[in-house]
Amino acid sequence: MNYLAGDSNRETGGKRTRGVTRGSLPDAPLVSVVTVVKNGAEHLTKCIESVLTQSWSNIEYIIIDGGSTDGTMDIIRSYDDRIDYWLSEPDHGIFDAMNKGIALASGQLIGILNADDSYEPGAVSAAAQALMQFAAPAVFYGDHYLVQVELGERYEMRASLQLWRGMTICHQAMFVHREVYRQLGSYRLEFRLAADYDFLVRACLARVPFRYLERFVVDFRDDGASSRALLTSNREVSTILRRYYGPFSSPYLKNLLLTGYNLTAVAISRLIGRVLGERARCWARTSFYRITGRRRPA
């Protein structure tokens, strides 16, 4: 571990700090996985293990911590000899942390895996194999399982490029070629919850190729920041669509209708919860996922 002089709030560690680095091989491109975390000790071990046990051998694993105080750093330090690089320092939110990780990544592909989530077996290998077949800068994406926390169940969520629906590709189910990040730039911090959606729209408008992996990539827990702040997230999505497509465009107007439907569904589920109890509210919410989540790739 390396405590940087002059900054008591910044700490780094991992194999890279001891001179051990990775690179792409002719038959094994390097895939970087970035985990961002702040006070995520409850689920971080499962997240880390899901990366370290992937079948793909050439993975660079980077963890960016935002200054945790709950035991997260104890977990990270315990994996110091298996993590390529980790950094702990205060940041300006989740997308600032992601930008730091992307800047530190050396891989041809970069995946973002939040501390509450975990990869499915073979996820990284599927992305790397697709890269070798396509051999061009692209976004490689797959489906995801949504873990409904209150009921302890998970549901199949199908990816789609119907952007008017919002973030229809789970961020954690994407692997982005580093050249795409170089071309489009980093995540824009003006968006607190939907900077990944802004990136997705910019990639589509720039005609970046999207390659579907035809598999489930990640288990995504339904208790993240965007899940808890649905109204703010929807407002940011609408702002992004209006900015890039215009206020009278089909994507923007269809999204307004969908936003109204989503917010109505949330209000109904809360009403059900007050009248029939929390379990009934959870059932109503997951029924909504069944209706909206099983989308086929565009």
Q: Give the H or E element holding residue 36.
A: strand 31-37
Q: What is the pTM of this model?
A: 0.87
pLDDT 10s digits, 209-231: 999 999 999 999 876 444 457 77
- The per-residue pLDDT for 271 is 77
Tokens found for residue 245: 């497509």
Q: pLDDT by residue for the chain (298 residues), tens digit each? A: 443 434 568 999 999 999 999 999 989 999 999 999 999 999 999 999 999 999 999 999 999 999 999 999 999 999 999 999 999 999 999 999 999 999 999 999 999 999 999 999 999 999 999 999 997 899 999 999 988 776 677 788 899 998 888 889 999 999 999 999 999 999 999 999 999 999 999 999 999 999 999 999 999 987 644 445 777 888 899 999 999 999 999 998 998 887 776 777 667 767 777 777 766 766 666 666 555 544 333 3
The DSSP secondary-structure symbol of 110 reads: E
Burial of 29 (C-beta count, 10 Å sphere; 0-12/13-18/19+): buried
Mean per-residue pLDDT over the chain, rounded = 88
Burial of 220 (C-beta count, 10 Å sphere; 0-12/13-18/19+): buried
**Buried b or exposed e, range 158-183, using 16+ CB within 10 angstroms:** ebbbebbbbbbbbbbbbbbbbebbee
Tokens found for residue 193: 């919850």
- The residues pairing with 44 across neighbouring beta strands, listed in sequence order, are none
> What's phi and psi for 175, nearest 5 deg?
-125, 120
Residue that the structure tokens 């199949």 belong to: 156
Distance CA 60, CA 83 (A): 8
- The per-residue pLDDT for 57 is 93
Domains and CATH numbers, the chain: 2-224 (3.90.550.10)
Distance CA 142, CA 218 (A): 8
Distance CA 66, CA 69 (A): 10
The DSSP secondary-structure symbol of 120 reads: P
Contacts of 287 (CB under 8 A, 6+ apart): none
